[in-house]
Amino acid sequence: MSFFLRRAAFYLFTAWAAITINFFLPRMLKGDPITAYLARNQGKVSPEAIDSLRILFGLDNPKPIWQQYIEYWGSLLHGDLGVSLSKGLAPVTAVIADALPWTLGLVGVSTIISFVIGTGIGTFIGWRRGSRAEAIVPIATFLSTVPYFWLGLIVISVFSTTLRWFPASHAYSKGTVPNFSFEFIGDVIYHSALPAFTIVLTSLGGWVLGMRNMMVTVLDEDYVTVAQAKGLSPFRVMYGYAARNAVLPQLSSFALSLGFIVGGTLIMEMIFSYPGLGLRLFEATLAKDYPLMQGMFLVITLSVLVANILADVVYAIMDPRSRQEAAS
């Protein structure tokens, strides 16, 4: 129990630190661009918007710094991340909320699929080390080095342009209004086929190799020999003794990669014009839309934290040794 409490305390502290740094960063910008923007667009920005920007960014704020800090927290807890300068002054939270589900949905699901398939293949190859299954290793290595954009473009060229099996861009057909009908969901899945396929293919190699290498290491351990000596079925030995131990480092990697889902799929979104966070962040950077950028950084930081928490929890469940840090 104390293990979880300690971890929880650690994460709370990290979250607090991230948010605080987020507070101080823009106040260290010289000649900040928000003021410039507001000066240019005098009269077009509502007083509430100016207020919230002031809370978030400072902006010649006459109030003492600690009071600004408290207001900042207050505004965060109300879900107010300011207004987006490049998106017609829409609230940042709305812009993010618009894009987030697409990213999480597509990339999250693809990563999970890739992990499961890759780990499964890696387990099998590792188990049958020295056999013909090893031929997969160079293929996996190749896949893990393929640049995403190259594969993406090839996939589009083959499956979309030439074969016309799948659409090449966007999350759903133009003109449709997003809703929860089966038809719409089907449309979404149809549109996500190519980007998902590309993501799975490029990240598969890494999982296969990682799991295979761990399997080979674990298979040399004494407890695997004991399991075989006990006359257990090969499946039980492979799964319960070898894979259960070999997967532990994979889980850590998986959790880390989950953390990068939110911000790290820019290229995919550019190639497929997929309305995710990565693309939004890129656009915000180009437009010098600081409120939006800041809001997204915060979201990305917090999601990496959440991913780490998940990883810790899963690891603690899977590996009983980690629950006792200073074991006898």
Using CB under 8 A as the binding rule, whether residue 5 contacts another protein is answered as no
Using CB under 8 A as the binding rule, whether residue 244 contacts another protein is answered as yes
CA 12/CA 182 separation, integer angstroms: 40
| Range 285-324, binding another protein (CB under 8 A) | 318-321, 324
For another protein, the closer of residues 3 and 142 by Cβ is 3
Using CB under 8 A as the binding rule, whether residue 231 contacts another protein is answered as yes
Site size toward another protein, by CB under 8 A: 28
The full DSSP string for 211-266 is HHHHHHHHHTSHHHHHHHHTT--HHHIIIIIIIHHHHHHHHHHHHHHHHTTTTS-H
Tell me if 99 sits within 8 A of 280, measured CB to CB.
Answer: yes
Give the shortest CB-140-to-another protein separation in angstroms. 23
Draw the binding track, 180-219, toward another protein (x: CB under 8 A; -: no contact): ----------------------------------------
For another protein, the closer of residues 241 and 254 by Cβ is 241
CA 239/CA 244 separation, integer angstroms: 6
Return the residue of 226, 239, 273, 313 that touches another protein, per CB under 8 A.
226
Using CB under 8 A as the binding rule, whether residue 162 contacts another protein is answered as no
CA distances from 240 to 45, 224, 246, 247 (A): 62, 10, 10, 11
CA 14/CA 226 separation, integer angstroms: 43
Draw the binding track, 100-139, toward another protein (x: CB under 8 A; -: no contact): ------------------------------x---------
Tell me if 250 sits within 8 A of 78, measured CB to CB.
Answer: no
Q: Which residues make up the interface to another protein (CB under 8 A)?
A: 130, 221-223, 225-233, 236, 240-241, 244-245, 248, 318-321, 324-328
